[in-house]
Structure 1
Amino acid sequence: MDKLRDFLKSWPGRILLILCLSPLALLGVESYFGGSVDPNQIAQVGEASVGLSEYQNAVNSRRSEILEQLDDASLLNEDVLHQQVLKGLVDRTLLEQQAGKLGMTVSDDTINRLLRQEQVFLDANGEFSNDQFSNFLRQRGMNKEQLFAEFRNQLSLDQLNASIVGTAIYPMQAVSQLIGLQLEARNLWVHRFNWQDYQAKVKLTQADIKSYYDANKGDLKSAAMVDLAYIQLDPATIKIDEVTEEEIEQQYEAYKQSSAVVDEREISQILVTGDKSKARADQIKMRLDKGEAFAAVAKKDSDDPSGADGGAIGRFNPAVFGNDADAVTNALQGLSVGDISAPIKTSFGYQIFTVTQDNGTQVPTIESMRSELSAKAKEYKRQTVYADKVTAINDMAADGLSIADIAQQEAVALKRIKDYRKNNNTSVLSQPVVIKQAFDEFTIQDQAVTSGIGVGTGTIWAQPSNYRPTQTLSLKAAMPQITQTLLKQKASALALKDAQSIAAGIKSASDINKQAVNFQSLGQTNRQTTLLSEKERSLAFSQQAPANGVVALTSVTETGATVIVGDRIETEQQAQLSEVEQAQTARIIRDNLGQDQLQDYLDYLRLVYKVEVNESNMAGAQGR
C-alpha cells in the first residue's frame, strides 16, 4: 500500500497524462479520462485497442515534454518518438488486459478512503471537501464513475507491476561482490601498437576479398543518399536599416504597457493667450524658476478658468488635450512632483505645467532607457524582416521554384552537400528533422524544395536530387570497404603478435624497462579509470598476478593491439560502503532487474495477446 500511496501523492497534478518511455513508467495515468475512444484504431491488442486520438494526444504530450529539454527542436527524432509512444501504449494495454484476466481489482471503499486523504481535496480545516472534489471533476470534464474506473484500472496496474518487479532477487552477497569489483585496483603499465604501423606488411589477395564478400554480402549495403542543395537563413545575418525615433518610441510604449505602468500624476497648468503670449509665458517661467509659488502665479496670471484653483486640472489624461496630446506628453516626460515644464505652444496658446502629486508607478524616462529600447527596436525590426523572408521563400518553394532560383532571388548563398546520407549522417545538417524531409518520398519524387525547416535559431530549405536507395553492393563497389576492413584485421593481428612477444618477456616489474618499447605507467588504477578504453579496462582486471610478480596481458583493441602489465589486484578498503549504502545499492540493482523482468513479461504477453498495428493510420498520424 505504501507504493500506492507514493503514486497517489503525485497523481492529481499529473492526471491528464503520464507517459514515459521506460517500461516501469508505462503505469502512469493516461489522458483519456474525459472523452470517448476514437473509432479509428492505431493498434488492436488482444480484445482491446489503441485509438487514434489517444495515440495523437500521447505523442503531442511527449513531444512537448522533450522539447522543453531541447534548445534545438530539430534534434527531435519524430520517427523514434512515434515508435516509442506506440510501444508504451501497447505495453500498457497488454498489462491492463492481463490485470483483468488475473482478477486484480480495487474496491470502491479503498478508492474512497485513498481519495479522502488527498491534499487537493481537503479544505482549510483538513477535511474532505465535496466542492473541491466536484470542481476537480468539472475541470477535467469527467464524472465520479469515470474517475473511479480509471483509478481502479491504475491501481490494478500497480498491483501487477509490484508482483512482477517485486520478484527481482539479487542477494547481498552478490551485491558485495559487485561492489568489491568496482573497488579493485592495481598498478598498471600499458603500451599500444597502432595497426596503421603494420598495414605495409599486409598482403591482400583477390581471393581474400572475394571470400569476405561472399561471407558478408548481406551486410554490405550502400547507404541511402541524395545530393542536397540548400539555403540557410538566420536572423543574425539579416541586414536592417538603423532604427528610427518613432520605432524607439513604440518600444517605449510597449515597455510601459508590459510593465503595467500607470500614470497617476496630478498636474496643474498656466495658460497664456493673446498676441504677446510667448513673451508673457517666458516671463512667467522665469518667475517660477526664481521660486514664486505655481498656484499663486496661476491664480493671478493664467488665462484658463482653472487658474482660480491654482491651475489644478486633475490626473494627467492625454485624451483631454486632443491634437496637442503628444506635445503635452513630451513636455511632462520625466517630470517629478514639483518640477515645472518649459512653456509649450498648443492650440490654446502657451502652456506651462507642473506635477503636484504622483500616486502611480515611476516611469523611467525614454532617455534613460534609450540604449535598451534601441536594441529591442533593432531586434524587433530584424525578426520582422526575417519572418517576411521566411514567408516569401516558403511561397516560392510552394510555387515550384528551384532552390537555385530562390537563392538568386533572395540573394542567399546556395550550399551543397554531395552524398547526403539517410543513416550515420555526420554532415552539418545531421538533424533528424532535416534528414526526414530530405528523404521524404514525395520530395524525392518531385525533386521539390522542402518547406522551411527550423534548425537552431534559423531556417533552412533543401532540395534533394540524384536519390540512390539502399541496395546490396557489388563486389567492385564493396571492394574499398572490404579492403579497409581486412587491412585493419590483418594489421591488428600482426600488432598482436608483437604485443604477445613483448608480454612473454615480462615476469616481474623490473622486466618492463628492459623491453624494446616504452611503457606508460598509469600508477594505482581502478576499474573506473578513463585512461583505458572499455576493452582495455576489461583486459586490465581479467587475471590476477602471482605473488610478488606481475602479469602481462594482450588483446586486439579498437586501435590495434595493447599489452597491459599489472601487479597484484587489491581491494581499496578505505572506500568500502557502509551497510546503509550497500542496501541502497542492492535496491538499485533489484529495481534494474525488475525492469528487465517487466520487459520480459511484456514480451511474453505479446505471445499471449495478438498485437496488430494499423500501418495506414500510423502513417497518417505521422504525416507520411
Structure 2
Amino acid sequence: MESFRKVIKGWLGKVLLVLFLTPLALVGIEGYFSGGSKDAVKSVNGTDISQKELENVTKSFKDQYLAYVNGDETLLNLDFINNKAMDTLISRQLLLQQAEKLGISLSDQQLIQMIHQQPSFQENGVFSDEMFAKYLASIGMTNRQFLDNLRQDHALKMLSTTFTDNPLVSKVDIQQIANLQTEQRSIQLASIHLDEYKKAVKVTDAEIAAYFEKHKAQFKQPTSADVDFVVLSPANLPAVNTAPSEAELQQAYNDYAEKLKKDAQPIVKHILITAGDRTDAEAKALAVSVADKIKAGLSFDKAAAQFSEDPASKAQGGKLAVYSKGAYGDAFDQTVATAKVGQVSTPVKTKFGYHLIEVEGAVANVPAFETQKARLAEELLVAKKANAFADTVNTLNDQVVSSDALDVISQDVKGVSVQTVKGLTLASRHPVLSENATKSKIFNDDVKNGDRNVSSSIQLSNGDVVWLKVRDYHQAGEQSLNAVKPLVKAKLIEQKAYDAAKAKIQTVLNEFKTKPAAAVVKTGLSFENAGTFTRADGLLKRDLQRAAFSVAAPKAGFWSVTTASMPNELVVVAVTNVNKNVSAIPAEQVAELQKLYQQLRGQQEFDDYTRYLKAHAKIK
C-alpha cells in the first residue's frame, strides 16, 4: 500500500496545497488587516479597503512566494501577486459582511475566555498577563485591536468551515479514486530507433517555413545576456592578524556601555478608563477621580488593580510588558516622552478611553569590562579584517570604474580571474550571477537600452564582492526563421521519421485490436517486459506512463497497444494485464483519502460561494 500512501501525499495533496496556498486563507489576526491609513483603494458594498491593508497582504503573498523561489525576486510575477492580494481583500470583506448578516459573531467575554485558554499565553497552566502583553507588542496591536481582529477571524472561520467541513462526498467517488490509484498495469515495451528512417527523410524550405509559422510560440527566446565577471573574496587578501590594543578594547567597551544605556527603555504604567457603557464625560470624570485618589495617597499599582480596564496590565500594577510607540496613539506617546519620572499624568484621551500614565526611569544593566574583553577582542579583529577588505574593494572599485575594465582586478590580486557566462537568463542557476543583487544589475532598463559599462562592486550574500560587465544583451521575443531554421528542420525530421516508423508497423498495431497477442505476427518488434506499475509510483518516464494509462484495459489474452514519442525513438507501449483487484485498502487510508477529497470539494464549494457574493456586490 506504499503507492497509495504516495498518492495521498502526492498528486491530491499537491492540488490541495495549491488551493490553500493563499496566505492567511482569508483569515489571520497577525495585524494584516488592522490599523493603517484610510486612503481607500477599493470599495466593497460601501466599505473601504485601505492602501495599508493592500500593502500588508501584498507583502505577505510576496514573502510566501519568495520562499518557493529561494528568495529570487526576479522570478516573481508581481502583477499576479498584486491582483491576488486585492482579490483576497475583496473576498475577505464580502465574507465578513455576509457573516455579520448571518449573525456570526462572538462577544468580548467569549473571546477573552478563548484567549485565556490558549497554552501560548499560559505559564504553569495559568493565563499570564505579561506573556499576552508581550505578544500584543510583538504584533503591534492593542488589546482592543486584537479582540476585534480575533472576532473577525473567528467569523470567517465559522463561515468558511460551513463549506469546507461539510461537503457531500459519495463513497462511490472515493472508491473510484482509490481503484484508479491502486490499479496495477503490466507493461511490455518495444523500441524502434529512428536513425535509419531519418536518412530517408527529406524536408523542404517550404515545409520548414510553414511549420515555423504555425508554431512560432515554440521558438520564443527568453531575455538573456553574455556576462564577464570577477569575484573577490576576503580569502584572496593577505591575513590580518593585528590584535586590538588595550585602548581599543576600552573604547569598544565604552561604546557598548553607552549603547546599552541609550537603548534602555523606560517602564511605562497606565490606568485605562474606557467609555464602554459610560458617556465620554463620565469616563473622564472617573479618570480624574482616580487621579485624585492617587494624589491623596493611593499607590498607582493599587489604583491600577482596582480601576484599570486594561486586562493585560492591571494585574501588574498598570505596567506595560513592552512599551511600543504608536500602540495607543500620539497623545499617549507625547505624554510618555515629556513625563517626569514618578509623576502621574492628567487624564490623556485616546481612541481607547482615558489614561493615567506614570513613567519610571530606564535602568541599563551594563556588565563589567572584564567579562566582555574576549568578545570585544574577537569583534574588533573581525571588524579590522572587514575594514581591510572594504578598503581594498574601494581602491579596486575606483580603478575598475575609471578604466571600464575588469582585468585590473586580476592584475592586482593573485588568485582571481575574469570569467564569462553566455546566454544567462533570469531562470539560470549560477552561484554568482543568479543572486538578486547581480540579476538586478544585468537585467535592467539601462542595460536593455545599451549600457555596457563595468558595474561598481556588488556585495554577494556570502560576503564576497563581484564586478560584472554585460557584453551582449538578447531581448526576449520570437526568433527569426533564419535563427531557428536548424531546430525547426530537426523537429520536422524527427516527426517524419516517427510517422514513417509508425506507418511501417501500423499493420501490427491494427492486429492487436482484433487478435489475441499470441496470434499477432510481431514483425520488426521485439518486446521486453518493463514490469508492473501504478499511476502513483512515478517509475516510468512521463510520456510512457501517460501512454500506458491512456488505453483501455485489455480483454483476456489481448494487449492494449499504443505508441509514445521519445527522443530519436518510437516506443510501442503494450498493456498486457490490468489488476484492479488489489488487496483491500486499510480503513485509515480510505479515511485519509476521503478527508483530502472532502477538503477539495469543500474548498471548491467555498470558492463558488465567494464568486457568487462578488457577482452580486458593488465593487468600485
Q: TM-score, normalised by structure 1?
A: 0.61
Q: Aligned in 2, Cα 1:232/1:125: closer, same or farther, shift over 3 Å?
A: closer
Whole-angstrom distance in 2 between the partners of 1:48 and 1:391 = 54
Q: Aligned in 2, Cα 1:500/1:25: closer, same or farther, shift over 3 Å?
A: farther
Shift of residue 558, structure 1, vs aligned partner: 5.8
1:25 maps to 25
Whole-angstrom distance in 2 between the partners of 1:392 and 1:38 = 49
The reply on whether 1:107 has 2:106 as its aligned counterpart is yes
2:224 maps to 225
Superimposed CA distance per residue, residues 173-212 of structure 1 (whole angstroms, 9 cap, x where no aligned partner) = 1111111122222332212334455332222112212222
Q: Aligned in 2, Cα 1:552/1:60: closer, same or farther, shift over 3 Å?
A: closer
Q: Mind listing any 5+ residue stretches in structure 2 that lack a counterpart?
A: 1-19, 251-370
Alignment map for 1:181-192 (pairs within 5 Å)? 181-192=180-191
Superimposed CA distance per residue, residues 287-321 of structure 1 (whole angstroms, 9 cap, x where no aligned partner) = xxxxxxxxxxxxxxxxxxxxxxxxxxxxxxxxxxx
Alignment map for 1:192-341 (pairs within 5 Å)? 192-195=191-194, 198-217=197-216, 220-235=219-234, 238-241=236-239, 246=243
Superimposed CA distance per residue, residues 441-493 of structure 1 (whole angstroms, 9 cap, x where no aligned partner) = 13444334165152667443322243332344333334233223322322222
Whole-angstrom distance in 1 between the partners of 2:147 and 2:114 = 11
Shift of residue 403, structure 1, vs aligned partner: 4.7
Tell me the C-alpha RMSD between the 2 structures: 4.6
The reply on whether 1:154 has 2:144 as its aligned counterpart is no
Q: Aligned in 2, Cα 1:77/1:130: closer, same or farther, shift over 3 Å?
A: closer
2:164 maps to 165
Tell me the SS of whatever aligns to 2:208.
Answer: helix
Superimposed CA distance per residue, residues 149-196 of structure 1 (whole angstroms, 9 cap, x where no aligned partner) = 211221222233224434644422111111112222233221233445
Shift of residue 230, structure 1, vs aligned partner: 1.6
2:552 maps to 543
Output the amino acid matched with 1:477. Answer: A
Whole-angstrom distance in 2 between the partners of 1:545 and 1:462 = 62
Are the counterparts in 2 of residues 438 and 464 from structure 1 also a CA contact under 8 Å? yes
Whole-angstrom distance in 1 between the partners of 2:50 and 2:396 = 38
Tell me the SS of whatever aligns to 1:107.
Answer: coil
Whole-angstrom distance in 2 between the partners of 1:459 and 1:611 = 50
Tell me the SS of whatever aligns to 1:89.
Answer: helix
Superimposed CA distance per residue, residues 214-238 of structure 1 (whole angstroms, 9 cap, x where no aligned partner) = 3334664443233322222345x52
2:476 maps to 470
Are the counterparts in 2 of residues 437 and 450 from structure 1 also a CA contact under 8 Å? no
Are the counterparts in 2 of residues 24 and 595 from structure 1 also a CA contact under 8 Å? no
Output the amino acid matched with 1:146. Answer: Q
Alignment map for 1:38-53 (pairs within 5 Å)? 39=39
Shift of residue 564, structure 1, vs aligned partner: 1.9
Output the amino acid matched with 1:417. Answer: V
Q: 1:418 aligns with which of 401, 417, 422?
A: 422
Output the amino acid matched with 1:586. Answer: Q
Higher deviation after alignment, 83-92 or 505-514: 505-514
Whole-angstrom distance in 2 between the partners of 1:603 and 1:436 = 38
1:587 maps to 595
Whole-angstrom distance in 1 between the partners of 2:487 and 2:21 = 37
Are the counterparts in 2 of residues 188 and 565 from structure 1 also a CA contact under 8 Å? yes
Q: TM-score, normalised by structure 2?
A: 0.61
Whole-angstrom distance in 1 between the partners of 2:503 and 2:573 = 14
Output the amino acid matched with 2:115. Answer: L
1:521 maps to 529
Are the counterparts in 2 of residues 31 and 58 from structure 1 also a CA contact under 8 Å? no
2:72 maps to 76
Whole-angstrom distance in 1 between the partners of 2:464 and 2:398 = 17
Output the amino acid matched with 1:484. Answer: A
Whole-angstrom distance in 2 between the partners of 1:136 and 1:405 = 54
Tell me the SS of whatever aligns to 1:527.
Answer: coil
Shift of residue 419, structure 1, vs aligned partner: 3.6
Tell me the SS of whatever aligns to 1:568.
Answer: strand
Q: Aligned in 2, Cα 1:450/1:592: closer, same or farther, shift over 3 Å?
A: farther
Q: Mind listing any 5+ residue stretches in structure 1 that lack a counterpart?
A: 1-19, 254-362, 367-372, 613-624
Alignment map for 1:440-479 (pairs within 5 Å)? 440-445=444-449, 446-448=451-453, 449=455, 451-452=457-458, 454=460, 458-479=464-485
Tell me the SS of whatever aligns to 1:555.
Answer: strand
Are the counterparts in 2 of residues 225 and 467 from structure 1 also a CA contact under 8 Å? yes
2:14 maps to none
The reply on whether 1:565 has 2:574 as its aligned counterpart is yes
Whole-angstrom distance in 2 between the partners of 1:393 and 1:605 = 62
Tell me the SS of whatever aligns to 1:204.
Answer: coil
Output the amino acid matched with 2:452. Answer: Q
Q: Aligned in 2, Cα 1:437/1:593: closer, same or farther, shift over 3 Å?
A: farther
Superimposed CA distance per residue, residues 317-345 of structure 1 (whole angstroms, 9 cap, x where no aligned partner) = xxxxxxxxxxxxxxxxxxxxxxxxxxxxx
Larger radius of gyration: 1
Whole-angstrom distance in 1 between the partners of 2:395 and 2:38 = 38
